[in-house]
Amino acid sequence: MAAKEDLYSKILPRRLRQNRPGSVKCGSNLDVLLSMGFPRPRALKALVSTGGRSVQAACDWLFSHVDDPFLDDPLPREFVLYLRPSGPLQNQLSHFWQQSRVTCGKNKAHNIFPHITLCQFFMCADHQVETLCETLQATVQQWRGRFPSPLPLELYTSSNFIGLFVEDQVADILKQFAADFATEAARKAEVHIEPHKKQLHVTLAYNFPTDHLPSLEKLAKGIEVKLGCDWLAVLFSRDIRFANHETLRVMYPYIPQNDDELELVPGDFVFMSPVDQNSTSEGWVYGTSLSTGLSGLLPENYISLADESDTWVFHGSHSFFSCGPSDKTSKEKGMFDGLLDSRRPDSTSTGDTPMLSLICHPMQQVLRISGSHSRQPKRSLFVCRHGERMDVVFGKHWLSLCSDSKGRYVRSNLNMPPSLPMWGGQRDYDMDAPITVFGSTQARLVGEALLESNTGIDFVYCSPSLRCIQTAQNILKGLQQDGKLKVRVEPGLFEWTKWVSGSSLPAWMPPTELAAAHFSVDTTYRPLIPVSKLTVSESYENYMSRSYQVTKDILSDCKNTGNNVLIVAHASSLEACTRQLQGRSPQSAKDFIQVVRKIPYLGFCSCEEQGDTGVWQLVDPPILPLTHGPNHTFDWRETLLQE
């Protein structure tokens, strides 16, 4: 049998393929798996965990879960039955989902796609899932011609809830359908289902700050509830073990440095329980991988908060109005096949989204409020995150990978820069990592895009972190302004000091040493907030106040001498330097962290002054977003010479 590493190597690329249409019926697939020698309980678990898509998907799941300690656990999955709209109404709801998230950030409703809940979560044994799916299909067929059309919906709002409620008489009809399904499922599949007894509704928003109500209510009133719609009965399942866990998406690859750490692959999901975090160190969390079932510690800044339904498995979709041989259209198959992932029902694409595109797009979705190219802005503030970091790509022990026996710098990978400034014990690289070659390329691309869009930069301000200074230098190279425009190093733009490991701040290179190392910095610039004023482990309130104050002072100093200011700093800076500038109050620290996690390398936002009012507003950036895919380490000996 092939080595375990060989089996693992076959798993992840398959998640990047276009999914082929499949059937939730798994009888013949089960026979094939049994003939291959898989035990019946494992084969059934694999088919149910992949939505019965195909034998190949089930095999991939089994191989990737070979070390899963719960592989032979007989615990069944939890299922739920929803009504999902399609057609014009679904498009309206998807638009609301997107705009509400952009305008007000994520609320609890965003965890699940637009739906009407027909029953509570219920358990179904793996060997009964096929019968359960057939029962749903048969019940829907019996109800064709009896399902109310159109479905009357009425908007309801309160201080922390907005939804579309089904009229009571019609809701009773829907509840009868759910009751019929529950009765048949109990008889045929031996499951206990409780139909939803509360008022039936589509939740639009809930558990949001009170000050978001006017904006959300305005968006909700724009939904045309009388638009045509085909309602689908859809069946999903989730792993009951993680029902009360947070769902996290892996953003960056991570190779474990210790036995208790978890390997991370971009695009995977991790389940995290707050109960398990009591004994973890700061900056680390304990979680379980969806793709392998393994648990361990992982760096907190390598993950971002995902939606709860991202890891659910789709088992069937049946229309109450369509009577074709298959209830699922090809579009729906592509959208719902197996794991929801990026193919959630509110997605506009039926294919797979490249893994790292999910890193870059939220920069627009979270920070872009409105935009207009109809006039040239009087003054613009651009805030940009630094490029790809060496310690993120090559791990926290990256220094050992590029040092020879005499302590000299040695480039051991093409993505490592040919040389580093002040190498030889004089630089605090552990605390102040440089950017990679690709990080420099990212920055030059942004500079070239600014040049191509005829966007002039009058002033560049930069965090004292080396990665930010290198990024600013390469942006200026792309702009063809390297050596012509000097970077002003401003310590007040450094990130939240709570995130600094250790008891002291990094030992940054002073401007004179940076200039000696051929960086185009302004050695005459006097910082608005000197390094001596920064404190370790500052409060969130102090960080937000510091960022707001230094941004205001920068804009004030540049007011009469230039229109466009570029700040090159950290992911947190895109939020911290612009939010209060718009007259908006800071978010909670928890919400702030979730926003920051979604901002990629070279994430770029644009803020425009509204006349002479002193009020600023986020607008469309003058350049396109930057999206790229992962490129893992390749060792030809291990890969090509392996027996």
Q: Which residues are catalytic?
A: 385-386, 570
Q: Where are the alpha helices (DSSP H) in 189-329?
A: 213-221
With beta carbons less than 8 A apart as the criterion, state whether 276 and 297 touch.
Answer: no
According to DSSP, the residues that pair with 203 across neighbouring strands are: 163
DSSP 8-state code for residue 523: T
Distance, CA of 543 to CA of 493 (rounded, Å): 10
Distance, CA of 613 to CA of 110 (rounded, Å): 35
Contacts of 493 (CB under 8 A, 6+ apart): 461, 462, 463, 464, 468, 547, 550, 567, 569, 570, 573, 577
Q: Where are the alpha helices (DSSP H) in 226-329?
A: none
With beta carbons less than 8 A apart as the criterion, state whether 204 and 167 touch.
Answer: no
Work out whether the CA dihedral 336, 338, 344, 349 comes out positive or negative.
negative
Distance, CA of 461 to CA of 479 (rounded, Å): 15
Q: Pick from 121, 123, 29: which is nearest to 75 by CA?
A: 123
What do you get for the CA distance between the two ends of the chain, in Å? 11
Within 10 A of 414 (CB to CB), how many other CB atoms are there? 9
Bond preceding residue 377 cis, omega within 30 of 0: no
With beta carbons less than 8 A apart as the criterion, state whether 335 and 343 touch.
Answer: yes
Separation in Å, CA 189 to CA 193, 561, 577: 11, 75, 57
CA R_g for the chain: 27
- Map tokens 């930010």 to a residue: 468
Burial of residue 217, with CB atoms counted within 10 A of its CB: 0-12 exposed, 13-18 middle, 19 or more buried: middle
CA angle 466, 471, 476 (to 5 degrees): 130
Burial of residue 173, with CB atoms counted within 10 A of its CB: 0-12 exposed, 13-18 middle, 19 or more buried: middle
Distance, CA of 219 to CA of 216 (rounded, Å): 5
Question: In the numeric block, which tokens belong to residue 449?
Answer: 């895009």
Q: What is the dihedral of CA 453, 456, 459, 462, to 10 degrees?
A: 10
Q: Pick from 589, 557, 562: which is nearest to 576 by CA?
A: 589
With beta carbons less than 8 A apart as the criterion, state whether 173 and 148 touch.
Answer: yes
Question: In the numeric block, which tokens belong to residue 439?
Answer: 């990080």
According to DSSP, the residues that pair with 616 across neighbouring strands are: 609
